[in-house]
Amino acid sequence: MSNPQEIVGLTHQVKKLANGKISDINDINRETTFLALNALIEAARAGDAGKGFAVVANQVKQVSTRIADITTVLNKELAGSLSKLTDLGDSMIERLRSHEGQRCADLALNMIDIVDRNLYERSCDVRWWATDSAVVDCLAGGGAPQREHASRRLSVILDSYTVYLDLWIVDASGTVLSNGRSQSYPVAGRNVANARWFKEAMKTPSGADFVAGDVEALPLLNNAHVATYATAIRERGAVDGRPLGALVIFFDWAAQARAVVKGVRLTDEEWRRTRCLIVDSTFRVIASSDSAGVLAERFNLVTGGQRTGFYRTADGRTTVSFAATPGYESYRGLGWYGVVVQKAPV
């Protein structure tokens, strides 16, 4: 079945063809008129001998005049109607593309909203687990039995919450004391004091606060792509307790984000010309439906100060739709954007 773009494209071709053929007829007719005039001049010079030829030349001139009248009508009615038709078609395509741009902006919003809701749960998890008695005792007691018990406790949590790669308990000096997947990630004894998420977690004013780190490839987790959440572990697990260290949880970003960007509701035909992205506040690509450029590409997103919308690239062939993270309940989001990049049908 033909799509609207093909129909409008065909209309433009017919208009071009009609205008070209009418122009060709006019050119030929002008040449015929000149020939008829030259024939009349030569017949007049020939006198009586040229009278018969003058009759033929006059007939040719009359035919040329009729052809000129017909091409004038064709140019006015046919070419005019085709121009109106192509203008209507172009207007229809513009409205259609605007509709598709808004639809893709809605899809981008839905995509980033799913991410926000998911990450909101992560912010809840880290604050809740930081009050777990096994986690607090690991820092308060400081002995090997407490560290082993905390490790088993973290392992049980990981078995239930499969969206995490690992959970770490870090003391106030930045040394990892215990983690839930010690066999996969032997990080106990490693120091992470220079990590931004650790330093900021230790500065949180209360147990109600948390830190959300940028998506990164973390060497200590075999360069897995993770979204890191951290908060201070406080004395007695109290909201206003003295910070003893930090609980750090690593969300398996790559797997979860891939499911989001590949789960956008598009037809098979649309997917062949569409790329769905999540970019961070610096427009760095942190998820891509084609798996290209993740954590390496900076997408040139032009928001114009808007939180959601769409625009076309300079060549007019690609529509970029976007929506900023809306936040969810107490989670304000990280200034990320969902982006849908869609080429026009060929």
Q: What is the CATH number of the domain that holds 284?
A: 3.30.450
End-to-end CA distance of the chain, in Å?
14
- Kindly compute the dihedral angle of the four CA atoms of residues 209, 190, 249, 340, in this order, to the nearest 10 degrees: 100
Query: What is the rounded CA–CA span in Å between residue 182 and residue 192?
Result: 16
* Whether the predicted pLDDT of 146 surpasses 90: yes
pTM of the model: 0.74
pLDDT of residue 88: 63
SS3 207: coil
Cross-strand pairs, 340: 276, 321
pLDDT of residue 66: 73
Cross-strand pairs, 196: none
pLDDT of residue 65: 74
Structure tokens belonging to residue 17: 């063809």
Exposed, middle or buried, 206 (CB in 10 Å: 0-12/13-18/19+)? middle
Query: What is the rounded CA–CA span in Å between residue 276 and residue 115?
Result: 13
Q: Same structural domain for residues 271 and 243?
A: no
Q: Same structural domain for residues 209 and 127?
A: yes
Interval 338-344 mean pLDDT:
95
Q: Same structural domain for residues 184 and 273?
A: no
For residue 294, tell me if it sits in a domain.
yes
pLDDT of residue 92: 60
Structure tokens belonging to residue 41: 């001049």
* Whether the predicted pLDDT of 2 surpasses 50: no
| Centroid of chain to Cα 35 | 64
Report the candidate in 210, 233, 48, 35 with the shortest Cα–Cα distance to residue 131.
Answer: 233
In one-letter notation, the amino acid at residue 152 is R
Identify how many contiguous H helices and E strands the chain contains and give both numbers: 7, 11
For residue 200, tell me if it sits in a domain.
yes
pLDDT of residue 72: 73
For residue 105, tell me if it sits in a domain.
no
Task: Please write the tens of the pLDDT for every residue from 250-280.
Answer: 999 999 999 999 999 999 999 999 999 999 9
Q: Same structural domain for residues 130 and 240?
A: yes
Query: What is the rounded CA–CA span in Å between residue 217 and residue 227?
Result: 9
Q: Same structural domain for residues 274 and 175?
A: no
Structure tokens belonging to residue 161: 């919450």
Report the candidate in 258, 172, 182 with the shortest Cα–Cα distance to residue 220.
Answer: 182
Query: What is the rounded CA–CA span in Å between residue 160 and residue 11?
Result: 60
Query: What is the rounded CA–CA span in Å between residue 252 and residue 218?
Result: 11
Identify the weakest region by mean pLDDT among 28-32, 127-131, 291-295: 28-32
Q: Same structural domain for residues 232 and 308?
A: no
Domain boundary among 256, 282, 300: 256
Interval 140-164 mean pLDDT:
93
Q: Same structural domain for residues 236 and 279?
A: no
CB neighbours (10 Å) of residue 320? 24
pLDDT of residue 326: 83
For residue 11, tell me if it sits in a domain.
yes
Q: Domain limits at 34?
A: 4-96
Domain boundary among 256, 290, 315: 256
For residue 109, tell me if it sits in a domain.
no
